[in-house]
Structure 1
Amino acid sequence: MNAASVELGLPTFSDSLISFNSANNLFRSAYVTRLNHYVLGPKGSNISQAANGWSTKNGLTEKENIIFCETPEEAVTRSESEYKHGEVNLAWTCAVYFREHELFFSNHDHSLFFDQYKMKLDNMQLACKPEKKISLEVATAIASHPSPSVLLRKAGTHISIIDASSNSDAARLCAEGNVDACITTESARKIHGLKTVHEFGSPEMLFFASLPPSSSEYLRGLSYEFR
């Protein structure tokens, strides 16, 4: 950091973060005992499935530990604050998260795009309780995370969108009777015993694994040691 930056109190992006290619073999070593994945919950979210898919692709499921968070911001913060020596923490975000830019510029010392994983979304759909009949031509309260809520823009003025913290949280709100319907995933629909009203589909989506400074420093230390 140069003198002007110190005087102004402005941050600088770190240029010492380790890359995935450098860390990949270290993940499999005995020096990394656990990979903690901080993901948006509750169970059934696309992000949690992406984290598991990444572990499977890289042969790391035996070290995988999924930790559910209420927001992507919480996932990024906890991935740093809950660091333990010998473990590596990863926080997961999504390319279409509507605050992704804020996360990036607010966490300049994190490797927010450390690695990526592409997968088809888990059948995004409009769902409701089995006994419910849904008509979008009358007043209807629908729970949705802000990102996919735009799918309802053309549904009419009778729709009232209730913010949910995730697709799986939307299913929970619906199952508890707080709303008439929800935008959710197939997995969350099954977990909460809902029925499908409309299928939006399963487009490809990109997810990002973020590496916090403490985990990056630990991996960099290992890479220097074994050169």
Structure 2
Amino acid sequence: MGLPTFLSKVGLPSTEAETVALLRCDEVSEVRCFVLGPRKISNIPQACELWLRQNGLEDKAQLVIGERPDHYLLEAQAVHEPGVVPVFWTCAVYGKEKELFFGDAVNTHMFLFSQVMPLDHMQLACLPGKLTLEAVRTICDLELLPGHWKRLASHPSPKPLLNGLLDHNPQTTWVEANSNGFAAEMVKSGQADACITTETARLEQGLERLHDFGTPDMVFFGGVTKHGVELLKRVHESLSLATIGF
């Protein structure tokens, strides 16, 4: 096998805009985007769809929903179909970003594409009709939870937003969710009493907002596998030769 080597960018355009333009060429039949689920209610698929719209790629794009970035990276790397560029999406605060970069993604261009997008309102939510207005104020102002609440769910990335609640409520434990969308599903199904989730996921699951953490900007990255990079290099070479008259 030998020691790993990072994938070279030699043969690709010098700017992201020029590289995106290659995706619009006829030689690329499909841009297959691997994103975090469930469905399209988490931030990563929303950022991916925004990027596709802004770059005029919706008509040749397909979204593949996965449970974890480290899993769907492997799915993207298994794609070797002619004309298909696999793009796997992560975000700047994904906890295992460095493990992917120096690990399974070493033979990809993990940050070839990027998209800045405000996060879909990150919020603390629970089942509706369970709390009085006074109880909600107690949670938000004093960080004191109802005594019967035992589990708070979130993806690991925004977990620090729960640190105050967990410190002040020793009867309550944190449970891990694979995404903000999955966290909302855990509350809906009774696996957790409250969660950090997105506005889209909250509405889909019919949850009640307790606190809105806000919508800060986040950077999302579209990584391209070796198969996709080699295809883009061939397209770029073909266009370059056509330009100089060969």
The two structures have a TM-score, normalised by structure 1, of 0.91
Any gaps of 5 or more consecutive residues in structure 2? 140-144, 241-246
Match of 1:40 in 2: 36
RMSD: 1.6
CA contact (8 A) 2:76 2:225 kept: yes
Match of 2:119 in 1: 121
Deviates more, 1:216-225 or 1:129-138: 129-138
For each residue in 1:147-184, what CA deviation from the matched residue of structure 2 results, as whole angstroms up to 9, or x when unmatched?
10110111123331110000000011111111111110
How far apart, in 1, do the equivalents of 2:31 and 2:199 lie?
26
CA contact (8 A) 2:37 2:182 kept: yes
Map 1:69-148 → 2, pairs under 5 A: 69-106=66-103, 107-133=105-131, 136-138=145-147, 139-148=149-158
For each residue in 1:42-83, what CA deviation from the matched residue of structure 2 results, as whole angstroms up to 9, or x when unmatched?
020100000001111111112221111010111211111023
Cα 1:193–1:137 change in 2 (3 A) is: closer
Match of 1:151 in 2: 161
CA contact (8 A) 1:22 1:223 kept: no
Identity %: 38
Indicate the structure (1 or 2) with the bigger Cα radius of gyration: 2
Match of 2:20 in 1: 24
How far apart, in 2, do the equivalents of 1:96 and 1:149 lie?
11
Q: Secondary structure at the match of 1:209?
A: strand
Any gaps of 5 or more consecutive residues in structure 1? 1-5
CA contact (8 A) 2:7 2:226 kept: no
How far apart, in 2, do the equivalents of 1:28 and 1:116 lie?
17
For each residue in 1:73-124, what CA deviation from the matched residue of structure 2 results, as whole angstroms up to 9, or x when unmatched?
1121111102321121100001001111001001211100001110100000
Match of 2:243 in 1: none
Structure 1 position 226, deviation (Å): 2.0
CA contact (8 A) 1:168 1:185 kept: yes
How far apart, in 2, do the equivalents of 1:70 and 1:147 lie?
15
How far apart, in 1, do the equivalents of 2:9 and 2:54 lie?
26
CA contact (8 A) 1:42 1:68 kept: yes
How far apart, in 2, do the equivalents of 1:89 and 1:72 lie?
13
How far apart, in 1, do the equivalents of 2:53 and 2:35 lie?
16
Match of 1:3 in 2: none
Match of 1:59 in 2: 56
Q: Secondary structure at the match of 1:82?
A: coil
Runs of 4+ in 1 over 3 A off after TM superposition: 16-22
